[in-house]
Amino acid sequence: MGRIDETIDAIGEGIDLSPETVPFNLSMMNPFDRGLVSYSSPNKPTVELCLDKVGTHNLWFRRVHQFSYGGIPVIIDVHRHFMPKVLFERYGALNKPTWRHQEPTLEFTFYHKLYEVDRQLQDMDEAGIDIAVLNLAQWSLKGIEMCRLINDSIAAVVKEHPDRFIGCVHLPLEDTKASLEELHRGLGLGLRAWAILSSFLDITLDDERMSPIYDEVSRLKLPIVMHASLLPKGAESAYTIGRSLARGYDISGAALRIIYKVFQKWPDLQFILPHMGGVLPMMKGRVMAFFEPPPELGFKLEYPEDIRPLPKTLNELQATGAIPYFNKLFDKLYFDTGGACGWMPAMQAAVNAYLPEQIIFGTDYPMEIHTGKDKKWFIDNIKAMDIPAKNKELIFSGNLKRIFGLKG
Ligand SMILES: [Zn+2]
């Protein structure tokens, strides 16, 4: 086996790997441990080592990066967008207040705050948001070169402000090989989550083409930050139907594909769904009413013959023992609080439908909530909700800290 410390020196790129920073003996690590190993201690940055490839004789550290933040983060925004300025130039959107771009598979509104990092930070400060998770998943549809550009740009923002931003890696899912390579390259840049769409052209989340990527993301224990597909299959643009309604349906459909199919093979994947899960705060009851446990769970529900194909009431579901099986799957999903521009009836519906451990603060800034003032207004409204203080802490940062392994 090659000496681990030599390998790290080769790719450490100036990161402090002294015993004070990494206070455990690297040479003692089991060479057959694969995936993320992290270490943190009070007053020191968290250090993560990603073991990429383990062979009989060699061990490589694919990535070493540090993540640190000033103080204890209290509010983290999981749904935030950054777009490189070069794309504004490329699409003729520079120096315009907004610019609506439409093509058959992608509709997008260019908005200058997308690339204005300083403005984003000012708005975060005004709202009291400590950290934001950046993605531009919508544009990952445009192929490997676009994904590389987005990943490089977001990684540069994170590198400039490591205490304020976490970045997501974007993958061209139509090309599995390129996706896997870009996944590793993105992690090497310090990106810490995978940004996906609720559906990716003709690829839905239960598509077999996703399997190699799920394998790798599961192995690496990467959180998955989902974004609404901007123009889902079958959606129309008339009367804002695509933007206001169709995206919610697509997100909710993605949730069921995960529950019924993806979780059977990769039960530990951590999906953070956007827009409070789309229509699920309202429709979760109907989803339950039709619930049939996937055969892989090894449990067949014996519904009475005369109601078998009908939706079931909660009493009927409980009588057959279906609820624990449904909850076992559904409660593993996470939902961000974006999607309703801070409209509190939707937030209340999410709180009613989901566990506090499932809800994660997100604003969809700058697309959905545009200013620090309005973000603060949304935050203050959540703070004023009639729910326990510990649940608010989970929503504002506790759940995301747990998922990302953040300390504090
Ligand atoms: Zn968004």
Q: Let me know whether 259 and 351 are in one domain.
A: yes
Distance 339 CA to ligand 1 centre (A): 8
Q: Let me know whether 56 and 129 are in one domain.
A: no
Last residue of a domain, one of 67, 84, 117: 67
Distance 251 CA to ligand 1 centre (A): 12
Q: Confidence band (pLDDT; 50, 70, 90) for 395?
A: very high
Q: Let me know whether 329 and 393 are in one domain.
A: yes
Q: Give the span between the Cα atoms of 33 and 48, in whole angstroms.
A: 14
Q: Confidence band (pLDDT; 50, 70, 90) for 391?
A: very high
Contact (Cβ atoms closer than 8 angstroms) between residue 367 and residue 119 = no
Distance 254 CA to ligand 1 centre (A): 16
Q: Can you tell me which residue has the tokens 């109907």? A: 286
Does residue 43 have a pLDDT over 90?
no
Q: Let me know whether 55 and 170 are in one domain.
A: no
Domain extent for 41: 4-67
Q: Which residue has better confidence, 209 or 3?
A: 209
Which residues touch 101 (CB under 8 Å, ≥6 apart)? 91, 93, 107, 108, 109, 110
Q: Let me know whether 281 and 317 are in one domain.
A: yes
Quickly count helices (H) and strands (E) in the chain: 16, 15
> Percentage of the chain with pLDDT > 90?
65
Number of residues assigned to the chain: 408
Q: Let me know whether 338 and 194 are in one domain.
A: yes
pTM of the model: 0.82
Q: Give the span between the Cα atoms of 131 and 151, in whole angstroms.
A: 18
Q: Give the span between the Cα atoms of 52 and 62, in whole angstroms.
A: 5
Domain count, the chain: 2
Distance 363 CA to ligand 1 centre (A): 8
pLDDT averaged over every residue in the chain = 83
Which residues touch 36 (CB under 8 Å, ≥6 apart)? 48, 49, 50, 51, 220, 221
Q: What number of CA atoms fall less than 13 Å from residue 78's CA on the CB side?
A: 36
Of all residues in the chain, what percent are helix, strand and coil, respectively (each to 5)?
45, 20, 35
Q: Give the span between the Cα atoms of 194 and 358, in whole angstroms.
A: 18
Q: Let me know whether 258 and 381 are in one domain.
A: yes
Q: What is the pLDDT of residue 72?
A: 55
Last residue of a domain, one of 41, 67, 93: 67
Q: What is the pLDDT of residue 4?
A: 34
Q: Let me know whether 61 and 82 are in one domain.
A: no
| Of 222, 218, 219, nearest in space to 32 by CA | 219
Last residue of a domain, one of 26, 49, 67: 67
Contact (Cβ atoms closer than 8 angstroms) between residue 139 and residue 201 = no
Distance 361 CA to ligand 1 centre (A): 13
Query: Tens digit of pLDDT for each residue in 7-19?
Result: 333 333 344 444 4
Cα–Cα distances (Å) from 396 to 137, 201, 244, 392, 408, in that order, read 22, 32, 25, 6, 13
The per-residue b/e assignment along 177-186, b for 16 or more CB within 10 angstroms, e otherwise, is ebbbebbbbb
Check which CATH number belongs to the domain holding 377 and give it: 3.20.20.140
Q: Let me know whether 130 and 34 are in one domain.
A: no
Q: What is the pLDDT of residue 230?
A: 85
Mean pLDDT (whole number) for 73-84: 93
Q: Let me know whether 134 and 8 are in one domain.
A: no
Residue type, 287: V
Q: Let me know whether 159 and 240 are in one domain.
A: yes
Q: Which residue has better confidence, 71 or 405?
A: 405
Distance 87 CA to ligand 1 centre (A): 17
Protein residues placing their CB within 5 Å of the ion ligand 1: 364
Query: Tens digit of pLDDT for each residue in 295-353?
Result: 877 777 788 888 888 999 989 888 888 888 899 999 999 999 999 999 999 999 999 99
Q: Let me know whether 52 and 84 are in one domain.
A: no
Distance 364 CA to ligand 1 centre (A): 4
Distance 8 CA to ligand 1 centre (A): 37
Mean pLDDT (whole number) for 141-156: 97
Mean pLDDT (whole number) for 161-181: 95
Q: What is the pLDDT of residue 131?
A: 94
Q: Which residue has better confidence, 99 or 258?
A: 258
